[in-house]
Every structure is written in C-alpha cells, then in structure tokens.
Structure 1
Amino acid sequence: MKKIFGLAMAGWAALMMIAGSAQATTFPAQPLRLIVPFGAGGITDLVARLLAQQLGKELDQTVIVENRAGAGGMIAAQAAQNAKADGYTVFMGTVGTQVVNPLLASKINYDPHAFVPIGMVTGSPYVLAVRSDLGTETYAQLVSHARQEPGLLNFGSAGVGSSPHLGIELFKLTEKLDVRHIPFKSGGEAVSAVVGRHADMVMDAIPVIMPQVKAGKLHALVLADSQRSPAAPDVPSSAELGAPELRISSWNVLLAPPGTPPQIVAVLETALQKTLADPQLKAHLEQQGSQVYTGTQDEYQHFIAAERSKWQRIVQTADISLE
C-alpha cells in the first residue's frame, strides 16, 4: 500500500512539473495588468508606463497600466495581493507600499512580505521645489523663511505616508522646521497645486519636478542626494549644501501576487531584465533622472531591510500615522 501511495505521489509530482513547464511555455497567452498604487502623473506612474510598453514587447503581449490611487497605496496593494496568482497581474511596489505603510498603521489590509519579487526597476532622487513667486531662490533662504514664520508655509504630497510626504518630513527633521502638510491623491496633483499657488513647496522625483522647473513654474532648490544628477545639473545636492542626511529617492519594484508559480515568475523576471537592459529605455529613464536598478531576490531583501530601518526612525521621530 505504501509503495502504491509513493508511486502515486511521485506520479502526481511529475504531472505538476510537466503542467508547470507547459504553463511557463505558453505564458503569457493574454494581456497583463500592471497595478500602480498612485494616480497618473507621479513618478511611479511615469516609470510604470515606460516599463509596460517595453515589457509588453518582450512578452509579446499588451501590458495594461491600471492606476488605483488612495490610502497610501493600500487599495492597490490589496487588489494586487488578492489577484489570481497566474502571472497576469503584477504590481508596482514602492517604498510606501512595501516599507512605510506597516510602520504607519497598526493594521493594514495586505501583507507586503507575501508578494513574490520579480525584480527591482528604478530609483530616482527627490528634488525640493517651491512655487515661483514664493520669494526664495535658494535652499538657505527657504530654511530661513520657514524658521522666521513657523507653521506658515505648507507643502503638498501624494498623500499621508507617501515617499514625497516622508521626504518633506525628513527635510523638516533635518532643519528642525514647522511646515504644514496638505495631502493629495498623487504626486502630479501635488505639483499642480504648487504650480497653481495652492501650496508652497513640494518634494518629488526628478521626472515629476523638473519639467515644471524648466517651464519657470517652480524653483528647484536642492536634490536630496550625495551628488548632482545629469538630469538636473543646475540643482545643488544636499551634500553640497551641508545637509548630507537629507537623502531620499523614489524606488519601484515589480511584484507578483502571493503563490505565483516559480516558472511564471522566471518568465517575468527574464522579460524584466531584458526590458531594463534595453539601451533606449535605459537612456530615456536616465534622461528623466531615474536610475535603473537590478539585483537578485536576496539583494532585494537586503535592500528592503535597510529601507525599513531608515524609515522606521523617521516615522517614529515625526510621529506620522495613518490612523
């Protein structure tokens, strides 16, 4: 009886391997859905749309971007986690969805650790910018202005707990300032609010901020990085200005729902790496100020652990909460 059972189990395992191999061979047989946790116009959306176009070419299928804004990315993350684990739904994870949300709320409606990492995508350092009529032309002038009138200035962000929000909180902690927060649904909306003079300052990635700077609608005061970026050569780095601790970047990681078969993940990972190696895509991203990230799943886990340690300190010090 044991022998028969063992043979049956071996046969079942062999069938599963064959089925998995066949599934990977035929995948993808239909369009894919890429869920983005923020609205149109922000850095995550911009990167997702560039990625979707080239990834679709590699997979020989259409990749449809689906924006699901709200609740600091938790609405999108829950939808992605609950999606069928067949490879046809993927998720653009961010520092907010994968690191910050669990630090801000005692209960969240998804498990950031449950997703299957396909690979890192990009990172982009943040620029602090102000409305063009604020009267501050330099970082030092902005700091002086904020200190002279505590609580008067305000900033827009992509929402409570978003990386643009945390970027300004880091700025406030670095310079010991009192600046009020106005949350919006996306980074694009926050930038538009500052351009429209409904908010005083905003912090977001280079591709989001610099077009408005070049149009004369915003003044870029500092790049939150250790050195200047070729995409914003006239913007001084925080290290240059004596604030080396002011460093923040937006990053994105492509994830699959929990339980996605390894064979399918392997197909997606190969397509992603080929996509990110495409010279035209890489040049386009770098021209915008986004840096292509690559790495193994182990490297991803180390990266996440370091980010969690960093932002836990900032969240606790700034006393930020989603509740």
Structure 2
Amino acid sequence: MSTRRSFLSATAALTTATVPLLGQAQAESSSQNKLLRAIVGTAAGSTPDVIMRVIQDRVGGALSKTIIVENRLGAAGQIATEYVANQANDGSTFLVASTSMMITTPLLNPAVKYSYGKNIVPIVGLGSVGYVVVTGTGPGAPKTLNELFDQLRKSSGSYSSYGVGAFGQLGAEMLMERAGVKALHVPYKSAAMPDLIAGLNTFAVTTVSEAVPLVASGRLRALAVASPTRMASLPTVPTVAESSSGKIDLSNFSLEVWYGLFAPAKTSSTFISTLSNVVIDTLKRPEVQTKLDAASVVVTPLSTPVFAKKVDTDFGFWQETLKRLQASGRLS
C-alpha cells in the first residue's frame, strides 16, 4: 500500500528518449511527438471508450497534440493494462482503466503481469457508472427488492452476470450476503439480458447504462439502484438502502465502477500534472457533461492525489470484500 501512496515522490527523471508535453527538448521527430495514444481495454462504444472519445479532441487541442484512441481487447482489460504498464514512461501512452482493471481483477488473479502503484500509476479520475438491480416483467417477477429476497428464500432462483469476478456478480453476491439469501450464478460472455427478459433468470445487477433503455421499453423492471442517492436517469427507483427492513440492514450499500487515466510507472510528474489539469478542465465543460450524462456517466473529475487516495481506499475495501466472499464460497 505504501508503494501506491508514494508513487509520485518516487517518480524518476525522464530519459533522453522522453517526449515532454510542453516545449521541452525533443528527442524524437516532431511528427511522433504530436501523437498521444489512449489505450482502452474494451470495445468501441463501451463506457470507457465513449468517455475517452468525448474528450480526446478537446484534451488534444489544449495540449497541441493528436490523441489516438486504440482499443486493445482481451482478458477483461488485462491485455491493455499489461501493454501500457510495459510502455516507455515518456508520456506518449496512457490507459483508460476501471475499478475492475486496477483492483478486482488483480486481486482475483494474482498471475496478472501488472500491479497498481508498482508499474502503473494514476493520472486523473474521470467519472463513474452506477449499478441497478433488475428483473423481468413477466408473471411472478418481483416488484420490489424485498419481494426478490422473499422469492429467493422460498426457492433458490438464479442471477446472470458477465462472468466470475465481473462487477455484476460481485454486486449480486454482496447484496445477497446482506440479505442472507443465495441464488445460482449463470455467467454469460455477452448479452446476459435477453434470458433475464425471457424469465430464464430471476435477476441481475447491471450498469445503469445497460438497464435504462430496457427499463424504459418495459422489458425489464428496476428494483433498486445501488447508489447512495436516487439516480436522475431512474428517479422513481429507490436505492438499495431504502429497502432496508427490520430483518435486513442494507444501509450504506453502494456499487459503482469508476474510470480514470493511468500511466506507466516513473512517468514524469510534469506530464501527469499537465494532463490531469487539462482533463479536469475539459470534464467541467457543460457540453462534455451533457454528452457523458447521456451515457449514464456521473462525471467526477479527480486530481492525481485525490484520485490516488480513492484508488487506495477502494483497494482496501475490495481486498477485504473479496476475501470474505471467497471464504464463504460465494464467488463461483
């Protein structure tokens, strides 16, 4: 943990191959120095991809650079993260990453070839996407979160997610742990919602961005949002905490995935500070916030030290949570 907290103080000087951002001596050709690569570990159209593409031209313009978004898919973001962790620390390449890529995936899979704070470090926080508990709308489908719990007590039921360790699975198991119930986990590589709509699974915990259009069209029912307060995109849906009862304490229950920019370790503090400031200024623009709001992204610009502290705090939370869920046999 101390390595993560002190990454800035341990930043090394740039080598002669470094590509500085603002008018410093350049060792590479001018055409190369004008390009920055933003590596995204998910497909085009995914939330981190959308965030980066919304801001890339504005951020690039402010830096007098051209930012290229490059999607490197595979292994739930591990390939992209490992790639960036092994790039030169010259400021030419950075990563758009999430909570799962930086924290939960390494905790669940110690074999990954990167480690937050050791060979990859934070630049700036971008925002987050919340989660919502959803079910089908067919006969017998629960209409409230407590009705869902009652059904699971009477019969096991099932829930869908995008795989073991995916945030949807973690959220579902954390929720059922609080309620003292269990359900069969049905993992999907993609398209988990059609079977839920068809009534083949009992419920799912999924992102607001995935749920909103399906709820609006009447194909899914939102039971509760896993956020501290109600969401503007689902204003009539209560929070999980609001569903607390005398039997079940759901207070302070929250599940979100955040997104941020990260760089190879020992990247210049000048580069990190400059990019962080420009990104924060860009995210504050009303037109940018409008576009990201349409993608159900809660824009939360966080400076490098504030973002680093958040990552550290979340690392501790997930380390404890995953250990507990694994010990109880809930992660399978």
TM over 0.5: yes
Which of 267, 276, 299 is residue 292 of structure 1 equivalent to? Answer: 299
Q: Distance in 1 between matches of 2:180 and 2:36?
A: 46
1:123 alignment counterpart:
128
> Which stretch of structure 1 is more off in the superposition, 75-84 or 216-225?
75-84
Paired residue for 2:41, among 33, 37, 41? 37
Partners of 2:296 and 2:178 in 1: how far apart? Answer: 24
Shift in Å at residue 279 of structure 1? 1.0
1:230 maps to a residue whose letter is A
- Partner of residue 3, structure 2: none
TM-score under structure 1 length normalisation: 0.81
SS of 1:92 mapped into structure 2: strand
- 2:216 and 2:57 map into 1 onto residues whose CA distance is 26
Alignment of 1:171-210 (within 5 A): 171-185=175-189, 189-195=191-197, 199-210=201-212
CA distance in structure 1 between the aligned counterparts of 2:14 and 2:261, rounded to whole angstroms? 30
Native 8 Å contact 1:55 1:275 kept in 2: yes
SS at match of 1:246: coil
Match of 1:6 in 2: none
Q: Displacement of 1:78 after TM fit?
A: 1.0
Which SS does the other structure have where 1:116 is aligned? strand
- Residues 97 and 18 from structure 1, CA distance in 2 versus in 1: closer, same or farther, beyond 3 angstroms? closer
Residue 316 in 1 paired to residue 326 in 2?
no
Q: Classify 1:199/1:91 alpha carbon distance in 2 versus 1 (closer, same or farther; 3 Å).
A: farther
What is the match of residue 86 of structure 1? 90
1:173-252 matches, within 5 Å, as 173-185=177-189, 189-195=191-197, 199-242=201-244, 243-252=250-259
Deviation readout 1:87-121 (Å, 9 max, x if unpaired): 33221221112221232233322112221321000
Q: Would the alpha carbon gap of residues 23 and 119 (structure 1) be closer, same or farther in structure 2, given more than 3 Å must change? A: farther
Q: Alpha-carbon deviation of 1:288?
A: 4.2
Of 55, 66, 69, the match for 2:71: 66
Per mean C-alpha deviation after superposition, the further-off stretch among 281-290 and 208-217 is 281-290
C-alpha separation between the residues in 2 aligned to 1:62 and 1:196?
42
Separation in 2 of the partners of 1:27 and 1:228? 48
Pick closer, same or farther for the CA change 1:103–1:144 going to 2, 3 Å.
same
What is the CA-CA distance between 1:167 and the residue it aligns to? 1.2
**Secondary structure in structure 2 of the residue aligned to 1:63:** strand
Runs of 5+ unmatched residues, structure 2: 1-12, 245-249
Q: Tell me, yes or no, if structure 1 residue 104 matches structure 2 residue 146.
A: no
The structure whose residues are more often helix, as a share, is 1
Counterpart check, 1:147 vs 2:153: yes
2:309 is the counterpart of 1:302:
yes
Q: Relative to structure 1, is the Cα distance of residues 169 and 322 closer, same or farther in structure 2, using a 3 angstrom cutoff? A: closer
How many Å separate the matches in 1 of 2:188 and 2:107? 20
Query: Are the aligned partners of 1:213 and 1:219 in contact in 2 as well (CA < 8 Å)?
Result: yes
Match of residue 25 from structure 2? 22
How far the C-alpha of 1:224 sits from its partner, in A, is 0.8
Change (3 A) 1:73 1:196: farther
Report the 3-state secondary structure (helix = DSSP H, G, I; strand = E; otherwise coil) of the residue aligned with 2:130: strand
Letter in 1 for 2:187: P
1:263 to 253, 270, 280: 270
Give yes or no for contact 2:160–2:188 (8 Å, CA) kept in 1. no
Q: Tell whether the 8 Å contact from 1:42 to 1:208 is kept in structure 2 after alignment.
A: no
Q: Give the aligned CA root-mean-square deviation in angstroms.
A: 3.2
Structure 1's 79 and 104: CA in aligned 2 closer, same or farther, altered over 3 A? same
TM-fit CA distance, 1:176:
1.8
